[in-house]
Chains A and B, each alone.
Chain A
Amino acid sequence: MTAVAGGELLATQDLGAYYGTRQAIAEVTIAFRRKAVTALIGPSGCGKTTLLRCFNRIHEISFDARVEGSVFLDGHDIYANDVDPMAIRRRIGMVFQRPNPFPTLSIFDNTIACAPKGLNYQGKMEAAERALRSAALWDEVKDKLRTSPLRLSGGQQQRLCIARAVAAHPEVLLMDEPTASLDPIATAVIEELMASLCKEFTIVAVTHNMQQAARVSSVTAFMLADETGVGRLIEADATSKLFTKPSDRRTEDYISGRFG
């Protein structure tokens, strides 16, 4: 149980992930800056999403999936034997590529579905309002908290999913291409939201959009699949540096649009 260099909140050591016998990522070692947005970029199939899914042990719910190496949360390996994945997922929340509100629950119940237990009605109401406010959704839904989330627009649904994750009081927020299914205006709202949320949470966001990475993140990590199709971390650096003076030739090729 040694803490990783720098005492970062979230870090990995020689992380590899498999689907059956197929290795999806290998030898990823990276530490994420606290209370900042880190963007994971790279071409399709480079393992960005798989890497993200290893961080809260949601990777292992896929059939035949497994992980090697370590992921440290506050210095403790979340893949240690005595760790309950459910406890980890409460500390490391996740927002998905497509908005996935729970279809049969109301907006209110969606928001607090994963919130800590034991709140009375007043407490739930306050928790919901706080979460919806921090997801910049409160003003739009405060008069229809009891209605179905399916009537909301895609962008509103995605912000509801963010509120749902925030209400669980995580320390880390994982976002898997959170704007991939949204129009440019809804995308801008989510990006603003990420900028404000990172004051409170450590955010790791996958994106295939390099402009988005440049806009929202302070650190960017570039991944690429090697010739056998295994995703590897090429480099991670301050976003401003990675996009102007990358240290690896392959990063430069990618950000200048020579492939991918």
Chain B
Amino acid sequence: MAQSASRHRNLARRRIVGGLGVGLALLCAIIGAACLLIILGYVIVQGAGALNRDFLTQLPHPVGVPGGGVGNGILGTFIILGIATAMAIPIGLLTGIYLSLFGRGPIPEALRFLSDVLSGVPSIAIGLFAYAVLVAPFKHFSAFSASFAFMMLMLPLLVRTSEQAIRSVPQTVREGALALGMSNFRATVRIVIPTAMPAIITALLLAIARVIGETAPLLFTAFGSQFWESNPNRPMAVLALQVFTYAISPYPSWQAQAWGGALLLIGAVFVLSLGARLMLRRAMRGLEA
């Protein structure tokens, strides 16, 4: 009898402790989500007022002249990201394919280690490197040097995620191709990579989202510009850089525009992440079946 009573008390205590644990976890989750929502809300409140057609399409105006926009920065962001992506896709994807096919041994291990180290290097250091090899020798800033820095930031993410994406294709699918006499290369290109494609695109979108708001490496690569600039060999305006410049300025009109730019960047990350999630869902569906 006594034993059963103590067992009962024990159970009650365990229920309370368990309930507390769940409650605490929920509380932390709410705090985390709230932080994000507060930031989002604050940026929307501050930035929405600055958004209009002129803001998206006009050149910046000098201090004191009302209006103006960040059109050249938006264009520059597209150009610099486009070049960076075009360079990062072949290198990152082919490295990922290599690692997934020949994943064992000292060379692949060294590649993985280097890629992990690269992903931990501060973006300002990568910007400095781009400055040293592509700006200083030519004695002028350039959009291309910024693309180079962005590529280096995207690479480790692309390499590891595309390796994972290709690995996640069931071994039975690859074996099915090999067992009927397909070559390893053809099986990879025709069967395995298409199966992994949604996951690879997810990785690409996340890599772009990762660098779109990077500002530090732009300071001494793209540098910024007051004009419509589309030549990658010259200094170029970039949205993230404009946000930085406007935000630390003493002028309220510029500060308002900084909020508008920040809202644009967050919106872009939001859209890219959403796209990545949708692609990932498609990838999971493909792999289940």
Contact = CB atoms under 8 A, between A and B. Distances in A.
Interface of A: 56, 58, 61, 63, 86-90, 93-94, 96, 98, 100-105, 113-114, 150, 161, 164-165, 168
Contact of A58 (B178, B195, B197): B178
B81 to A, nearest CB: 28
A61 B178 contact: yes
A202 to B, nearest CB: 16
A102 B191 contact: yes
Q: How would you classify the secondary structure of chain B's contact residues: helix, strand, loop or mixed? A: helix
Contacts, number: 68
B194 interface: yes
B180 A104 contact: no
A58 B175 contact: yes
Interface in B146-204: 170, 172-173, 175-183, 190-191, 194-195, 197
28 contacts: A58-B178, A61-B178, A86-B182, A87-B181, A88-B181, A90-B181, A93-B181, A96-B175, A96-B179, A98-B172, A100-B170, A100-B176, A102-B173, A102-B176, A102-B195, A103-B173, A103-B195, A104-B191, A104-B194, A104-B195, A104-B286, A105-B191, A105-B194, A113-B177, A114-B180, A114-B182, A161-B176, A165-B180
Contacts of A86: 181-183
Contacts of A102: 173, 176-177, 191, 195
B173 A100 contact: yes
Given A61-B175, A98-B172, A102-B173, A168 B180 contact: yes
B181 A114 contact: yes
Nearest to A148: B289
A56 B179 contact: yes
A113 B182 contact: yes
B180 A89 contact: yes
A88 B181 CA distance: 7
Nearest to B175: A58
A142 B181 CA distance: 26
B102 to A, nearest CB: 11
Given A63-B104, A113-B190, A150-B289, A100 B175 contact: yes
Nearest to B288: A150
A254 B182 CA distance: 38
Q: Which 8 A-B pairs have the closest CB atoms?
A: A90-B181, A114-B180, A94-B179, A104-B194, A150-B289, A89-B181, A100-B176, A100-B172
B170 A89 contact: no
B175 to A, nearest CB: 6
Contact of B289 (A58, A94, A103): A103
Contacts of A93: 179-181
Max chain B CB contacts within 10 Å: which of A90, A101, A113?
A: A113
A56 B289 CA distance: 27
A90 B181 CA distance: 5
Contacts of A63: 104
Contacts of B195: 102-104
A168 B176 CA distance: 13
Interface string B247-289: 0000000000000000000000000000000000000001101
Interface in B56-105: 104
A96 B181 contact: no
Contacts of A150: 286, 289
Nearest to A161: B176
A94 B178 CA distance: 10
Nearest to B173: A100
A164 B180 contact: yes
Nearest to B180: A114
Contacts of B170: 100
A165 B172 CA distance: 15
| Residue among B104, B172, B180, B195 with max Cβ neighbours from chain A (10 Å) | B180
A93 B182 CA distance: 11
A102 B177 CA distance: 8
Nearest to B193: A104
Nearest to A176: B179
Contacts of B286: 103-104, 150
Contacts of A58: 175, 178-179
A98 B175 CA distance: 12
A89 B179 contact: yes
A236 B183 CA distance: 34
A138 B176 CA distance: 21
Contacts of A105: 191, 194
Contacts of A114: 177, 180-182
A96 B174 CA distance: 12
A58 B286 CA distance: 25
